[in-house]
Amino acid sequence: MTTDIGQVRGLLNDTIRDIIDLIGLDATTRLVEHLGGTSFDMPRGSRDSRRLRILQEILGADQISALLEIYGGAQLYIPRCDAALRALRNARFRAEVQGAVAAGNSQKMAVQLLAPKYGFSERRAYDILKETAPLPQPALFTE
């Protein structure tokens, strides 16, 4: 089972998908973690400013340059992406439990070891294991 952004891409809005394509998943994740849920006024250029320094604390110079080329001077709403991040976390948890079981651990032992790592109770861990990963939505019209 893969646990990448492709699994939850449908839960992300267009802006975040574009930013992932522009600066990569890791950088976008950092941006969401630091600024998610805010409307951020992007600097107009590379002139030193408080907003530029905020970006410099989060991203590398190449990533900032790429963002400013597209979004410089614009107010950019950065969503929290809670649903997508939660779905991705749960998929990673399920995959890690499956890997631990395949390596010879019981499911109970795997849950006891991994639930604290992911920050939830055993009860929630078993609920997540019962959930099925969302399947991709089939196209309504095929050509």
Contact 118, 89 (CB under 8 A): yes
Least confident span in 13-17, 52-56, 136-140: 136-140
* Six-digit token string for 88: 């991705």
- pTM for the predicted model, two decimal places: 0.67
Residue 135: pLDDT band with limits 50, 70, 90? very low
Q: What is the pLDDT of residue 118?
A: 93
Position 9, amino acid: R
Look at the chain and count its residues: 143
3-state SS track over 64-98: HHHHHHHHCCCEEEECCCHHHHHHHHHHHHHHHHH
Sign, CA torsion 107/110/113/118: negative
